[in-house]
Structure 1
Amino acid sequence: MNQKIMNPRIAKFVKETQFHSPLRRYFFPRYAYNFTPPQLVFLCQCIEETRHADGVIAEVGCFDGSATVFLNKYMDAKGIDKDYFAIDTFSGFVAEDVRVEVDSRGKTKSMFAGFQSNKKKWFDGTMAQNNITRVRSIQADVNEFDLTSLKKLSFCLLDVDLYRPIKKSLGELYAILAPGGMIVVDDCDASHECWDGADQAYKEFMKDKNELPYIMHNKLGVIRKRS
């Protein structure tokens, strides 16, 4: 074994120093997901349920790739080998989407300042670091990107938070959803001050389809295509 191993006393000293550092949270384990464990389990169940449906998997709105890594590690463990597309601006919310929230939905602009600390190359690097090769990242505003170009879809996690991009995305994603496929819309929680636009867009879509809303684990809006 050629790898050098740090002296245990030195290693313990280094870790103790890190523990007392203001940067402690970067050195010690912390929960990295915007989904609860039951929500992540449910997303894995959706991938399992749709494994035999035709088409690719898509994650529309992926931020730093934490959930992308989790879901792809599940696919590795279960032998599910499908192309996986990850679509994001990789630079935060689009100005027009925020304007709709402010002008039409009574929100304040300061609510939507998050997710800007991101880059596509960081996301791609995270995939490489985790030995994930099936994911193809696409930097795009979904309001301008033709989601039907994905051709056929077996499962999609739609997590773009705001009313306008979800409203636009749902029609295109459902159009290419294979029989037996599923779409899960995140943030379908009418009580959430920032993200209730996702809930509104999801419920309007279900009403147009003459379907009742089906929300799992407090915020995951489920759409199934049976035929």
Structure 2
Amino acid sequence: MMIPEAHEDIPEADAEDLKILKRVKPFTLTSNANLWATIQAVKHVEARNIPGDIVELGVWRGGQSMTAALTMKRLGTGRRLWLFDTFAGMPEPGEHDFKAATGESATKVWNETQDGKGFSDWCCASLEDVQANIGSTAHADVRYVQGMVEDTLKEAANLPETISILRLDTDWYESTKAELEILYPRLSPGGVLIIDDYGSWGGAKKAVDEYFAGKPIFLNRIDHTARLMIKDL
């Protein structure tokens, strides 16, 4: 099956948007539609003056944050970027983590790729690699937070005061749960929440469903895995 080009996938994208999509593609595992959602999210918060930083948790090589940085550059704006990751590959999954489509345990996949140090070479990108990739955008205001988010989010110094875009891409139940509990209250009204793994990993879906249980939210489908919502004003 041929993968559609971005201009075929997203007819609304203009020439500058397409340049961004092409530039960041080597640095992300996400789809054109997923990248386009980030471009649109940045345009949304800038056009409406939604206050706050842009926060991504689980960044791999930095392609999604590069997309945000390049879109801000195009718009002439410059919010702080926060990038949270182990920068050492995927940490060990827990009992709630499984492939949504097949029910296969994430632990099985992790065991096949683990490095013997508590992480794996699954989605592994070093801090230096990510810094170089983000640095290529010339975006100056960036905070890198290394470690397990369940630990790093307990430190006040690692918490942005307000957030305009919150992108969750750590796959597992425990990390997604911590991210929502600690960071979603800091997301500004009108801000954008993107959950990358809702359709792929059962743990991420479980954490989201539990957090928003009983709350009237609308999760918009970006692609087979990612979902997006705008926080009520």
- RMSD, aligned α-carbons: 2.5
Aligned: 1:168 with 2:178: yes
> What residue is the counterpart of 2:210 in the other structure?
204
What's the CA shift for 1:108? Answer: 4.9
CA positional deviation for 1:219: 2.2
- Give 1:101's aligned residue: 97
**How far apart are the structure 2 equivalents of 1:30 and 1:48?**
18
Conserved 8 A contact 1:63-1:115: no
Distance, in Å, in 2 between the alignment partners of 1:151 and 1:201 is: 23
Partner residue in 2 for 1:50: 45
In structure 1, what is the equivalent of residue 12 of structure 2? none
Q: For residue 145 of structure 1, what is the aligned residue in structure 2?
A: 152
The CA deviation at 1:38 is 1.9
Q: Distance in 1 between matches of 2:62 and 2:33?
A: 18
Q: Distance in 2 between matches of 1:122 and 1:98?
A: 28
- Percent identity over paired residues: 20
Counterpart of 1:41, as a letter, is W
Unaligned runs of 5+ in 1: 1-28
Counterpart of 1:128 (choices 132, 135, 142) is 135
Offset of 1:176 from its aligned partner? 0.6
- Contact 2:81–2:141, Cα closer than 8 Å, also in 1: yes
Q: In the alignment, which residue of structure 2 is the partner of 1:222?
A: 228
Q: Calculate the TM-score normalised by the size of structure 2.
A: 0.72
Whole-angstrom distance in 2 between the partners of 1:129 and 1:213 = 33
2:34 is aligned to 39
Q: CA 1:222/1:172 → structure 2, altered by over 3 Å: closer, same or farther?
A: same
- Greater C-alpha Rg: 1
1:115 aligns with 2:125: no
Contact between 1:215 and 1:221, CA under 8 Å: does it hold in 2? yes
Moved beyond 6 Å, runs of 4+: none
Question: How many Å separate the matches in 2 of 1:127 and 1:70?
Answer: 9
1:207 partner SS: coil
* Cα 1:172–1:209 shift into 2, 3 Å: farther
> Cα offset for 1:130?
3.7
Match of 2:82 among 70, 85, 91: 85
Q: CA deviation at 1:177?
A: 0.9
Report the number of matched residues. Answer: 192
2 CA distance for matches of 1:183 and 1:87? 16
Per the TM alignment, residue 91 of structure 1 is displaced from its structure 2 partner at its CA by 0.9
Q: What is the identity, as a one-letter code, of the residue corresponding to 1:165?
A: S
Shift of 1:86: 0.7
| Partner AA of 2:183 in structure 1 | L
Asked whether the equivalents of residues 56 and 169 of structure 2 are also in contact (C-alpha less than 8 Å), the reply is: yes
Q: Which runs of 5+ in 2 are unaligned?
A: 1-22, 114-120
